[in-house]
Structure 1
Amino acid sequence: MASPYPQGDREKVASKLPPSLRQELKIRAAEYSLDIQDAVTTAITTWRETPGGAPADTTGAESFSTWLPAGLYDDFKETCTGRGISYVQGLAQAVRRWLDANPSPADRPAGGIPERKIICNQKGGVGKTAIAAGTAQAYAEAGKRVLLVDYDPQGHLSDQLGIDQIEPGHDSLVSHMCGESDQDLRDLLVTVDDERYGKRLDILPSCFDGFLLDAKVAIKAAQARGYQKESALERALAPVEGDYDVVVIDCPPSLGIAMDAALHYGRRRQGEPAMKSGVIIPVLAEDSSATAYGMLAGQIQDLCLDLDLEIDYLGLVVNLYDSRRGVIATSSLKQWRELGEPPVLAVIGDLKEQREAVRKQMPLLSYAPRSEQADLMRQIAGTPREKGGRA
């Protein structure tokens, strides 16, 4: 069916696509910076001009709608009728052929430098874990290969996703940071098994040994000539970096050596564009959060001066915001916004979906993909929002 498009020469058309094909289309269009309607227009036009091709699997096809140039859908239906196939089969063939002709950039050879997002604040309870997990999910949903590192020995991220923490004495991120492992770090990774992320989201679980990380790294630096404690995290992750487009680090609430290593990892590397890697700082709309932010900013400044680094502030995320808490909340939010630099990337309310997802040990974007909270995670990551409303 079709209904007139009120703002130009397009019309809204409705058909069906299998969920997996629709998700792949969404991701690929985002990878090529295309609107889905433009990708589908090209797909249908090309399919009509080039007969032949294998039938597409339309099992479980669900409602799908988009905007097409006026008249194209009628021409498409005539072509389907002429070829003796259903409209659903024709659309699936067109989309499948377009996807095959436009492979994912993520399939390129490994070896590049990934973007590195350091989610940090020395104050606990500001939502670092939720924001790290949500933005990592948004990147993976949009087609990027993502490594999400549970760098906090408390292991909230691992627990929330139902992933076991690594027991003391076993190979872990800590043993790799201290140069005490000859094993492959990839053996520790857990891939999130969800069609939404297409096996592009890996988790490096937390380890209980992380509580001793500062001491172990300090001892290693004292004993081993040439061992720079600030580069410990980078040395550990270097062997797997080429496998990913984005690495997200969920940091502990600390200002110690572990935090220095995370900040060093997120520095702007030689030849890397500004604002690709750096720190994302979750804060609350309250006075104590401003104090904690000042302490973290001081640590970043000292590290940059001591080691001649550039660390980009990618932005702030004001989390758990509720205007009903009165003038302290509203005035604090105003002050965060008036900073200007770093910018406020998102203001996230005290919403229920994240808590419910944690209870079910599910990723937020899997549990409530159309929720306001999920869309705000996509906003932080700069990836396309879910179409079709909120659930």
Structure 2
Amino acid sequence: MTTPYPPEDREKVVTKLPTELRRELKVRAAELGTDIQTAVAEGVEAWREAKDRPVVDTAGGTSFATYLPTGLYGKLKKDCTVQKITYNQGLAQSIRLWLDTHPSPAPRPPRTTGARRIVYGNQKGGVGKTSTSAGTSQAIGEMGHRTVLIDFDPQGHLTKQLGYQMLDIDAPSLAKHMLGEAKGELRDLLVPIKGGDFEDRLWLLPACKDAFLLDAKLATSRTVRIKETALEKALEPLEQDFDYIVIDCPPSLGYTMDTALYYGRTREGEEPNTSGVVIPVLAEDTSADAYDMLYDQIQDLIEDMGIDIALLGFVVNMYDSRKGYVATSSLEEWQNIGDPPVLAVIPELKEQREAVRMKQPLLAYEPDCEQSMVMRTIARKVIG
């Protein structure tokens, strides 16, 4: 994806758009692999030259921010004055015009291998598995895909950060379903994640502390014949109801991680890199050491099980070039690996921390901040 406008030569524009128009813009931009900022800029340029401009009902609009090439918004406002319409209406018409002239591509063929499966894993804690799996899931939901986000870490940071309660230790849970100890349907444990343009498309499977014992129980269980398949068998009932299943893994190299890696393998009949593993890292040496251990585990599983597990890419999280040589040289080393690629670099900014503090999804709390934009970039690259 490229943009004809230099990123450093832009100005922020804040307006109000109807919810459905904003959602449609995000979905279409994702479908076409186009940056939202570029789409809006192209729409404004086309609107200024158009003779027929579609009127948009902007009643009940909510805040929307984007960046336009410096000076373009000023030209739009002058044209709106001549047309005797509000600036909000002018920008809404521009977006509507872009949507009308950039139709959705042909639908993809029906899935034959169930939902696509994205596993976020790294043996090291504190690298951003939770924040990036959550942000990417929200972005995928924005694009119109029904998505389940699974908190597979018994510490339950994901569940708590989104403002939900962990499952009671004696209640049904994912771990109990994996061990064949639960009654009822797994889908009954799902809770909808509210807020933002992903609402009604994103669900959470909360964590339960019983997962602390999962490794030991998998090792000794007589009901689970092949340990690595336990997660897949538990999640299978969800796959026809959802497009994506995203898993936030614990910082572990045990059986639990094996089940997640196996679940993210490339299945028979599935296109390469359709499902796989995303590795969040920091720009520091300890992340590299942790990745080496995860890589060895993945390779052992590939050899032992005769399967293929795609490494979809790295996400370099909490990056701040002001930290100096350690940060900049480490980032360069991640980028030089090449395969898997660096999908994105997430800057060290306050919005993610604030969203966690407020127990809100990032893309609902600050949908137009730089970190949210990067989450959408990761989502576009992951879903292809």
Q: If the TM-score is normalised by the length of the shorter chain, which range does it land in?
A: 0.7 to 0.9
Change in CA separation of 1:340 and 1:111 when aligned onto 2, cut-off 3 Å: closer
Give CA-to-partner distance per residue, 1:55-104, whole Å, 9 cap, x none.
9683447789999xxxxxx9xx99xx9xxxxx969x88x969x89xx899
Change in CA separation of 1:115 and 1:131 when aligned onto 2, cut-off 3 Å: same
Residue 37 (structure 1) shift: 8.0
Secondary structure of the residue aligned to 2:176 is helix
Query: 1: distance between equivalents of 2:320 and 2:41?
Result: 37
Secondary structure of the residue aligned to 1:231 is helix
Residue in 2 that maps onto 1:248: 246
Letter in 2 for 1:343: P
Residue in 2 that maps onto 1:121: 122
Secondary structure of the residue aligned to 2:197 is coil
Are the aligned partners of 1:27 and 1:141 in contact in 2 as well (CA < 8 Å)? yes
Residue in 2 that maps onto 1:144: 145
Are the aligned partners of 2:30 and 2:380 in contact in 1 as well (CA < 8 Å)? no
Residue 328 (structure 1) shift: 2.4
Residue in 2 that maps onto 1:26: 25
Query: 2: distance between equivalents of 1:317 and 1:32?
Result: 22
Residue 321 (structure 1) shift: 2.1
Secondary structure of the residue aligned to 1:196 is helix
Give CA-to-partner distance per residue, 1:6-56, whole Å, 9 cap, x none.
9xxxxxxx9x875212223214423652856889999xxxxx899xxxx96
Query: 1: distance between equivalents of 2:64 and 2:265?
Result: 45
Change in CA separation of 1:334 and 1:64 when aligned onto 2, cut-off 3 Å: closer
Residue in 1 that maps onto 2:168: 167
Residue in 2 that maps onto 1:206: 207
Alignment: residue pair count: 360
| 2:378 is the alignment partner of 1:377 | no
Query: 2: distance between equivalents of 1:208 and 1:120?
Result: 19
Residue in 1 that maps onto 2:180: 179
Query: 1: distance between equivalents of 2:110 and 2:63?
Result: 34
Give CA-to-partner distance per residue, 1:108-140, whole Å, 9 cap, x none.
989862221110001111111111111111111
Structure-to-structure mapping, 1:2-41, within 5 angstroms: 18-30=17-29, 32-33=31-32, 35=39
Residue 377 (structure 1) shift: 1.1
Query: 1: distance between equivalents of 2:354 and 2:177?
Result: 34
Are the aligned partners of 1:160 and 1:358 in contact in 2 as well (CA < 8 Å)? yes
In structure 1, the gaps of 5 or more residues are 1-5, 7-13, 43-47, 68-73, 82-86, 385-391
Query: 1: distance between equivalents of 2:324 and 2:24?
Result: 44
Residue 347 (structure 1) shift: 1.7
Query: 2: distance between equivalents of 1:189 and 1:170?
Result: 13
Does 28-37 or 189-198 show the bigger shift?
A: 28-37
Secondary structure of the residue aligned to 2:180 is coil
Query: 2: distance between equivalents of 1:219 and 1:327?
Result: 47
Query: 2: distance between equivalents of 1:37 and 1:325?
Result: 34
Q: Alignment RMSD, CA only?
A: 4.3
Are the aligned partners of 2:120 and 2:129 in contact in 1 as well (CA < 8 Å)? yes
Residue 352 (structure 1) shift: 1.3
Change in CA separation of 1:245 and 1:254 when aligned onto 2, cut-off 3 Å: same
Query: 1: distance between equivalents of 2:356 and 2:233?
Result: 32
Residue 318 (structure 1) shift: 1.4
Give identity over the alignment, percent.
46
Are the aligned partners of 2:18 and 2:58 in contact in 1 as well (CA < 8 Å)? no
Secondary structure of the residue aligned to 1:382 is helix
Change in CA separation of 1:41 and 1:190 when aligned onto 2, cut-off 3 Å: farther
Query: 2: distance between equivalents of 1:246 and 1:303?
Result: 23
Query: 1: distance between equivalents of 2:264 and 2:303?
Result: 15
| 2:297 is the alignment partner of 1:299 | yes
Structure-to-structure mapping, 1:259-338, within 5 angstroms: 259-338=257-336
Secondary structure of the residue aligned to 2:198 is coil
Letter in 1 for 2:363: L
Residue 246 (structure 1) shift: 1.3
Are the aligned partners of 2:162 and 2:359 in contact in 1 as well (CA < 8 Å)? yes
Residue 317 (structure 1) shift: 1.2
Are the aligned partners of 2:147 and 2:243 in contact in 1 as well (CA < 8 Å)? yes
Change in CA separation of 1:125 and 1:119 when aligned onto 2, cut-off 3 Å: same
Instruction: Give me the TM-score of the superposition, normalised by structure 2.
Output: 0.78
Letter in 2 for 1:252: P
In structure 2, the gaps of 5 or more residues are 6-12, 47-51, 73-78
Are the aligned partners of 2:118 and 2:244 in contact in 1 as well (CA < 8 Å)? yes
Change in CA separation of 1:374 and 1:218 when aligned onto 2, cut-off 3 Å: same
Residue in 2 that maps onto 1:365: 363
Are the aligned partners of 1:168 and 1:208 in contact in 2 as well (CA < 8 Å)? yes
Does 228-237 or 373-382 show the bigger shift?
A: 373-382
Are the aligned partners of 1:364 and 1:374 in contact in 2 as well (CA < 8 Å)? yes
Letter in 1 for 2:135: G
Change in CA separation of 1:178 and 1:105 when aligned onto 2, cut-off 3 Å: farther
Secondary structure of the residue aligned to 2:356 is helix
| Max Rg structure | 1
Query: 1: distance between equivalents of 2:367 and 2:199?
Result: 15
Residue 229 (structure 1) shift: 0.8
Change in CA separation of 1:377 and 1:169 when aligned onto 2, cut-off 3 Å: same
Letter in 2 for 1:380: I
Structure-to-structure mapping, 1:67-82, within 5 angstroms: none
Give CA-to-partner distance per residue, 1:216-269, whole Å, 9 cap, x none.
22222x455xx2110111111110111211111000000000000000000001
Query: 2: distance between equivalents of 1:239 and 1:106?
Result: 24
Instruction: Give me the TM-score of the superposition, normalised by structure 1.
Output: 0.77
